[in-house]
Amino acid sequence: MFPLPEWAPNVHPLIVHFPIGVLFTAALFDLVGLVLREQAFLRRAAMMLYVLGGVAVTATYFTGEAAADSVFLPTEANALLTEHSDLGHYVFYFFGGFAVIRIITFFTGLERMFLLRAALAVLGVAGLGLLTYTAEHGAEMVFRYGVGVQAVDSGPAPIAPPSDPMAAGPQLIDGGGWAWKPTRAAAWQEHMVIEGDLSSSSLRGGGEQDGARRGDVLGLTPGTGPVTVWFDHAMETAQIDAALNLDNFNGSVMFVHNLVDVQNYHFTVLTDGEMRLGSSENGDFYIMDTKPMAASSWHAYRVVSDRTHFRAYVDGKLITHGHGDTAPSGHVGLRISGVGTVLLDFMQVVPVR
Ligand code: HEM
Size of the chain, expressed as the number of residues it contains: 353
Residue % of the chain over a pLDDT of 90:
73
Q: Is 257 part of any domain?
A: yes
CATH code (residue 271):
2.60.120.560
Q: Within a domain: residue 165?
A: no
* Same domain flag for 79 and 194: no
Does 107 share its domain with 214? no
Beta bridge partners of 47: none
Please count the structural domains in the chain: 2
Ligand 1 centre distance from Cα of residue 241 (Å): 25
Cβ atoms of residues 268 and 320 within 8 Å: yes
Of 124, 143, 162, which residue is a domain's last? 143
Mutate to test the pocket of ligand 1, among 24, 94, 142 (most ligand atoms within 8 A of CB): 142
pLDDT at residue 143 is higher than 90 = yes
Claim to verify: residue 238 and residue 131 sit in the same structural domain: no
DSSP E strands, the chain: 171-172, 178-180, 193-195, 198-205, 208-209, 212-213, 216-222, 227-235, 238-245, 249-261, 264-271, 274-281, 284-292, 298-306, 309-314, 317-323, 330-340, 342-350
Q: Which atom of ligand 1 is nearest to the CA of 58?
A: 1
**pLDDT of 120-138, one tens digit each?**
999 999 999 999 999 999 9
Domain co-membership, 34 together with 132: yes
Do 24 and 69 fall into the same domain?
yes
Compute, in angstroms, the gap from residue 302 CA to the centroid of ligand 1: 22
Answer yes or no: is 7 within a domain: no
User: Is 164 domain-assigned?
Assistant: no
Calculate the CA dihedral of residues 248, 253, 255, 260 and round it to 10 degrees: -140
Task: For residue 39, tell me if it sits in a domain.
Answer: yes
Atom of ligand 1 nearest to the CA of 136: 10
Q: The domain containing residue 130 runs over which residues?
A: 12-143
Please state, rounded to an integer, the average pLDDT across all residues of the chain. Answer: 91
- pLDDT-derived band at 180, boundaries 50, 70, 90: confident
pLDDT band at 181 (very low <50, low <70, confident <90, very high): confident
**12, 130, 313: residue to mutate for ligand 1 pocket, most atoms within 8 A of CB:** 12
Domain-embedded: residue 21: yes
Identify the pLDDT of residue 216. 84
CA pseudo-torsion sign 143, 148, 152, 153: positive
pLDDT the model gives residue 154: 63
Residue 4 lies in a domain: no
Q: Are residues 128 and 270 in the same domain?
A: no
Same domain for 131 and 196, yes or no, is: no
| Distances 270 to 72, 116, 152, 217, 303 between C-alpha atoms, Å | 20, 57, 28, 19, 12
Give the residue from 95, 128, 143 where a domain finishes.
143
156 lies in some domain: no
Atom number, ligand 1, closest to the C-alpha of residue 20: 5
293, pLDDT greater than 60: yes
pLDDT of residue 152: 56
Backbone angles phi, psi at 338, to 5 degrees: 150, -160
For ligand 1, the distance from its centroid to the CA atom of residue 134, given in whole angstroms, is 8
Does 336 lie in the same domain as 254? yes
* 13 CA distance to ligand 1 middle (Å): 6
Give the three-class secondary structure for 209: strand
297 C-alpha vs ligand 1 centroid, how far in Å? 34
Do residues 118 and 264 share a domain?
no
- For residue 128, what are the CA distances in angstroms to 3, 53, 75, 220? 31, 11, 29, 54
pLDDT: is 267 or 185 the higher one? 267
Taking the CA atoms of residue 277, residue 280, residue 284 and residue 289 in that order, the dihedral angle to the nearest 10 degrees is: -10
Average pLDDT over residues 92-101: 98
